[in-house]
Amino acid sequence: MDPNSIPADWYLNPAVWSYGFATLGFAAFMLLGACEKAPEAGAVEQADDSLPQPIIPPSEVADPSERPSYEVGIATAAANRNRAKENCAEKSERLRAMCEADADAAFASAQAGLEDLRGNQQ
């Protein structure tokens, strides 16, 4: 680049100054971010103490050893049927029909087993 090709008033151009300020601003931002302090150990412990109470107290949460609700049971049975039908799609036409019939029968059996949980239990 020939220094004689640059006009004498090039430094008065606002674009020249804006690039310089943008570079300085970005560098300052990066330096401030790199110098940020790590939180102290006491602050982390204090934050754990200030956690809000759970919405449902732990004594009211369902026992995992109990039978699931109707909604959970029927959703699980439907998901198992859909998974079985996806596996059936990979089989030949004759085997696919038998496989889908088995999947539907298993769903009907699970649905019948959950009927006593359906509706209002009171």
Q: Taking CA 121 as the corner, what is the angle to CA 107 and CA 111, rounded to the nearest 5 degrees?
A: 5
Distance, CA of 63 to CA of 96 (rounded, Å): 39
3-class state of residue 107 by DSSP: helix
pTM: 0.46
Neighbours of 81 (CB within 10 A): 20
Per the rule left: phi > 0, alpha: psi between -120 and 50, beta: everything else, 119 is: left
- Tens of pLDDT, residue by residue over 41-84, are 555 555 556 777 667 665 666 677 777 788 888 999 999 999 99
User: Which segment of 4-13, 23-32, 95-104 scores lowest on mean pLDDT?
Assistant: 4-13
3-class state of residue 1 by DSSP: coil
